[in-house]
Structure 1
Amino acid sequence: MAGQATASSNGRDLVEPHDLPITEGLRENIHRFRKMDDDVELKPILDRLAPYPPLDRTPSAETEVRLPEIVGGLGWAWHWPR
């Protein structure tokens, strides 16, 4: 995971949100997901479906909270292309 490499190169044991390689396009999709999730409420489902594999570096609490929305943004890109 690129986030692990960034955290490691900065001498940290925790992967922070700013370590994740989130592009502008993914940010836009995360925003679209948030707007859609206000009506559909998928986030609770993604909370359970977005576990991460064992990592060399542990995600911080802030990073873990953001993972479902990141997965939602990736899902938006996959299933709802422009």
Structure 2
Amino acid sequence: MTASMEAELTFRARAMLRAVAAGRGELSGGSEPDLYVDGLSCSDQVAAHELAHAGLLRPAQPASLSERVRAELTEAGAAALDTAR
């Protein structure tokens, strides 16, 4: 993740990272993982995909296309969240 990406985190992206940090997020399997918060599909899947591709969040364990697993922040995601506070 670049410094410009850290500076560009929107309020919504930070909220998504906070939800994952609090243990409320799940990701679907696949190369474009969808984010679920509190069991509900996140309304901004484009942002969820960007966060995953930027290496800020990841599935806690491997998942097939048809399953959801707990999401977790990466070290970069935790650092970005701390920087944004």
Structure 1 length as normaliser, TM-score? 0.28
- In proportion to residue count, which structure has more strand? 2
Q: Which structure has more RCO (C-alpha within 8 Å, separation ≥ 6)?
A: 1
Q: Which structure shows the higher helix fraction?
A: 1
